[in-house]
Amino acid sequence: MDKAALDLLAKCHILHIEPSVKLTEALEGMLREDGILNIQHIASTQDVAAHPLSLETDILLIDFDHDVDAGIDLVRDIRMGRQKADPFLLTIGMQSDTDSRLVKQEARVGLDVILKKPFSTADLIDHIAPFATKPRRFALSKNYVGPDRRGKERLGAEGDIHIVPNRLKLRAGDRFTVQDAEHWLLSWRQMVEDMEAGRMIVDRLPISFFDSPVEELIIPKL
């Protein structure tokens, strides 16, 4: 396992949404054995109304084996600034079904990556590091709001692409504050509202923006 990523994960606040008691105990038990203690558990996406999200949350682990529609709505709301959460937070889907149609649907609402069940703690830890080192770029457009997953070709590409704060990098250096996240949320929410009201002109992203193979979203690789 990547020690730097493990140390970072130990600093992070994780929200874990999973209805299976068995899977919850297994995953959270493994994480705690590795010193990752800041874990909040919610049994279902529907329970978010009773247990609101927090700006303190760094990573969202969300089950997509059960109420897929509710999970998709939650991720979309986060990316659009409708939840009291960092709209740029690392959002990881967890599921057994990696059917390409489902994965494409999830990608369209802004998931960062998908962990295929069952996965190990190492699968999670070893893939946190890239998100803490690479600049975060987000698209704000009429047909997509979320992370820009393209590689080198994204530079100078179409669409309204924004370099946004990388909270994991800040968390790793002990430089993150909740006040920062609140500012990011309010600023992004205003931009989304301006776009929806027509006060800010943005284009639709071209179909080519969504051409990346869905397999690239899935860990471990199929």
What pLDDT, in 10s, does the model give residues 4-60? 888 888 999 999 999 999 989 998 998 999 899 999 999 998 888 788 899 999 999
**Residue 74 · residue 45 · CB < 8 Å:** yes
pLDDT at 210 over 70: no
DSSP H or E stretch at residue 42? strand 39-42
Structure tokens given for 210: 């969504």
CA distance 33 to 6: 12
Residue 214: per-residue pLDDT: 56
Domain ranges of the chain: 1-212
Average pLDDT over residues 58-74: 92
Given a cut of 60, whether residue 143 has pLDDT beyond it is yes
Fold (topology level) of 1-212: Rossmann fold (3.40.50)
What is the Cα–Cα distance from 26 to 141, expressed in whole angstroms? 39
Q: Which residues of 4-34 are buried (b: 16+ CB within 10 A; e: fewer)?
A: ebbebbeebbbbbbbbeeebbeebbeebeee
Task: Give the pLDDT band (50/70/90) at residue 222.
Answer: very low
Longest dimension (CA), the chain: 50
Question: CA 129 to CA 15: how far, in whole Å?
Answer: 18
What's the pLDDT tens digit per position in 146-178? 998 776 555 444 558 899 999 999 999 999 999
